[in-house]
Every structure is written in structure tokens, then in C-alpha cells.
Amino acid sequence: MSVLSDRDLIQRARRGDADAFGELVTRHQVSVFNVCYRILHERTEAEDMAQETFLRAHDRLDQFDDERPFGPWIRRVAANVCLNHLESQRVTAQLDEERDADESQRPETQAEVREQSEQIRGALAALPAQYRVVVELRHFQELSYDEIAAELNIPLSDVKSHLFRARKLLAEKLHALDR
């Protein structure tokens, strides 16, 4: 099974081969989980959304163009799943800020945020949902502005403003923590 390409596995999965789809999940679960974790900043939630991503991908396998690589596609699906999840929860930037402020008062969290990666994760988690997803698609999935606009079905001007504001907020947050 491991010698098969993603394309072979997709074709088998389309014919109902559960093991082939299981192998696809095994291959891409780390990258998909990380997309979800960067956006959601909560491990259990990230696991649930990663699973949801694969279930959704399974339902849409027939629509997938297997001339394209599977990895970038499933990661974009994951970003959308997380965005929908955040929007359905109506998580606002204000709530995130409040949560962040609460966490910064806990001694164990203060210890964790000394780690640089935790600082970045914390700063990302404090961004509004739309900003987080745009940062994810630009910095981690390396999509162009046009591709992000198409993926999220938003105007190009919104992509730019979300991205630039997100970076400004991240810089402020990270530099404030450095001080």
C-alpha cells in the first residue's frame, strides 16, 4: 500500500476501498492537523476538525481533480473547515483577546509562552478568524492573493487588508511579548 502514489490511492478510494483512504489519512494527517492547530490553537478541537476535513474530503473525492496534488488541496479544505467552524461559533477578536488576557495570568501559561513557537501560536490565536485563515493560506500554504480570494470567496482587496492587518497585529503582539 505504501508504494502507491496519492493518485492511485484516490482512485482506489473512489471505488470504495476504505484501506486506500485510510492510507491517505495516515500520510496527510500531520500536515492537516497542523493547519487546524495553527488556526484553532486548541489540540482537541484541531483533531476534531482534522477528522472533519478528511470526512469532507472523502465525500468530495469525486470532485477532486487527481491531476493536482492531494496535499495542498486537503490543506485548503482544512483551512476552510476551520474557518467555518470558527464562524459557526461566532468567535470574535474581542473574545480571543479576553481569552488571551486570561491565559497570560496563569503561571503555567506564562511558562509556556516563553517558548518562541508558543508565542507565535498565541499571537495567531488572538487574531480574528478571517485573519488567521488568510495568514495560514499565505504563509503556510503559499497561496497567491488571487488563490486566497478564490478559496475563501472574498474580494482581492479583503485578502490584502486581512493579511496586512494580521501581520501588523502579529508584529505588535510578538514585539510586546519580547519586551
Partner 1 sequence: MHLTDEQLNEYLDDEADDRILIETHIAACMDCAARLSALQALFAEIESLPEVEPPHSIAARFSPSRSLPAALPRSLTLTVILQAALAAATIIIAAPFVLQFISPRLSNLSAPSFTEMFIQVQTQWAMLLDALSTFHLPTLPEIPMLEFSSIFMLLAVVGASLLWLVGNGLLLRNQIK
Does residue 174 touch partner 1 according to CB under 8 A? yes
Q: Site size for partner 1, by CB under 8 A?
A: 46
Does residue 13 touch partner 1 according to CB under 8 A? yes
Place of cell 490511492: 9
Q: CA 35, 38, 43 angle in degrees (round to 5)?
A: 95
- CB environment 1-36: b (16+ within 10 A), e (fewer): eeeeebeebbebbeeeeeebbebbbebbbebbbbbb
Report how far residue 166's alpha carbon sits from residue 2's, in angstroms, rounded to the nearest whole number. 40
Choose, by CB under 8 A, the member of 55, 101, 111, 176 that binds partner 1.
55
CB of 113 to partner 1, least distance (A): 14
Query: Where on the chain is the footprint of partner 1 (CB under 8 A)?
Result: 13, 15-19, 21-22, 25-26, 29-34, 37-38, 43-44, 46-47, 50-51, 54-55, 58, 116-117, 120-121, 124, 135, 138-140, 144-145, 160, 163-164, 167-168, 170-171, 174
